[in-house]
Copies of this chain bind each other. A is one copy, B any other.
Amino acid sequence: MTAAAASGGKGPLAMICGGGAMPLAVAESVTKRGRDVVLFPLRGAAEDGAFDRFKHHWVYVGQMGKFMRLARAAGCRDVVFIGSMVRPSLWSVHPDLKGLSVIPRVALAFRGGDNHLLTNMGKIFEEDGFRMLGAHDVAPEILVPEGVLGRVQPSARDREAIVVGFDCLRAISPFDVGQAVVVAGRHVLAVEAAEGTDQMLARVAEMRATGRVRTPSGVGVLVKAAKTIQDRRFDLPSIGPKTVAGVVRAGLAGIAVVAGETIIAEPDQVVAQADRANVFVVGDPPGPPA
* Interface positions of A (Cβ within 8 A of B): 86-89, 92, 111-113, 164, 167-168, 171-172, 174-178, 181-182, 185-196, 199, 203, 207, 211-214
Contacts and interface: CB of A to CB of B under 8 A. Distances in A.
Contact of A168 (B111, B172, B181, B214): B172
A214 to B, nearest CB: 4
Contacts of A174: 171
B88 A186 contact: no
A187 B86 contact: no
B194 A175 contact: no
**How many monomers of this protein are in the complex?**
2
A177 B188 contact: yes
A193 B193 contact: no
A86 B168 contact: no
Contact of A194 (B177, B185, B186, B189): B189
Given A89-B211, A113-B187, A176-B188, 4 more contacts: A187-B194, A190-B193, A191-B191, A191-B192
A89 B211 CA distance: 8
A112 to B, nearest CB: 6
B177 A168 contact: yes
29 contacts: A86-B212, A88-B211, A88-B212, A88-B213, A89-B211, A92-B214, A111-B185, A111-B186, A112-B186, A112-B187, A113-B188, A164-B175, A167-B175, A168-B175, A168-B177, A171-B171, A176-B186, A177-B188, A182-B193, A188-B193, A190-B194, A191-B192, A191-B193, A194-B212, A194-B213, A195-B203, A195-B207, A199-B203, A203-B203
A208 to B, nearest CB: 10
